[in-house]
Amino acid sequence: MEIKHLFDPYKMGAIELKNRFLMAPMTRSRSTQPGDVPNSLMAEYYGQRSSAGLIITEATQVSLQGKGYAQTPGIYTKEQVEGWKLITEEVHKNGGKIFLQLWHVGRVSSSKVNGLQPIAPSARTAMDTSVYIFDGTSNGDATFVPVEKPRAMTYKDIDQVIEEFATAAINANEADFDGVEIHGANGYLIDQFLRSNSNQRIDEYGITTTNRIRFLIRVTQAVIQKVGKEKVGVRLSPFIKFKDMDDPKILDTIMLACQELDKIGVAYIHLCEADWDDAPEIPTEFRIKLREVFSNTIIATGNKTPEEGEMLLKANLVDLIGFGRKFLTNPDYPERVKQNALLNEISDGHTLFGGGDARGYTDYPYMKG
């Protein structure tokens, strides 16, 4: 199959992208400690992958309370902002565009990670869910610990978190990011508000579909007010149920949220699609309906082959295709696709999360020649 559309340039609002390859957000836990500060090694990593039309960074906590995994970077201190400037400078120098993913994990956390009790829409523990720390007991590997029971968020908590997202967006702008992505997927805080099984509030943030999207909409409006709608995207995961997030009403909720996000005018919706072998496929009917209700850019990410991405682009069901692991191991992934070249595979699974050096991070080779 000829791969053509993936290499077409694309205009996302006012942002010119050189192709339709998107490097998907992938947690790598390489920030400098203490302080969860981005660093020069991370700058090298992202700079190597600037051949993507757009890079979305790893999930980045908007506050210490929003942190759920060890050594993930933040965007709420001056030192973190200065660290991120290293990354944006390197990506822009290499001709790339980069958005920062704004993240609050909500109930998917433990006091062993950040010293704080998790917060969530309701005081419901995510069953069969773990997070990781580095405690020196596993030869440098991450040690997984169960999440703890959260406390239900007060109105004051809700307002504070919304302000944290807004401040994080300002900080991202100061760090010279091309935009920000609000993480509303994968069982984290915003997704917890969207789902009826994790959100059992009986106030204006719960009970009805309209109420359950309220937190997402308020966060989005607050972020847009600070950086402009053309610089804001939202990530959603309608078909992903892990982290105890199985909600039979979620598709209706997601579709209503997308309608409202269209009215607000966000730059894109980023669909996080399941990436394991027997994962559910997103039905074509869902994609068609989404295209009808949302008028701006649609991104699909989820272990797709270039051929699958090409078909989605050709059918005009999406506009950009996200690739994760392929960019992780192949910094020159678009060129390898163009030449139908062999791909690097993951060299050592132990280096996926954590590690203080280049091994399994910036040492994956480019093609020769």
- Tell me the CA distances in angstroms from 207 to 20, 120, 123, 151, 248, one per residue in order: 39, 15, 15, 19, 14
Q: Where are the extended beta strands (E) located within the chain?
A: 10-12, 15-17, 21-23, 54-61, 98-103, 119-120, 130-133, 143-146, 151-152, 179-183, 232-236, 268-272, 297-301, 320-323
Which of 244, 152, 238, 162 has its CA nearest to residue 201?
152
Active site residue 188: yes
Exactly one of 10, 69, 188, 364 is catalytic; which is it? 188
Cβ-count burial 297-308 (b if 16+ within 10 Å, e if not): bbbbbbbbebee
Structural contact between residues 360 and 331, judged by C-beta atoms closer than 8 angstroms: no
In the 8-state DSSP scheme, what is residue 129?
Answer: -
Structural contact between residues 320 and 299, judged by C-beta atoms closer than 8 angstroms: yes
Which of 4, 96, 18, 16 has its CA nearest to residue 337?
4
Structural contact between residues 239 and 273, judged by C-beta atoms closer than 8 angstroms: yes
Q: Which residues contact 306 (CB under 8 A, 6 or more apart)?
A: 3, 6, 321, 337
d(CA 70, CA 324): 21
Residues annotated catalytic, as ranges = 188
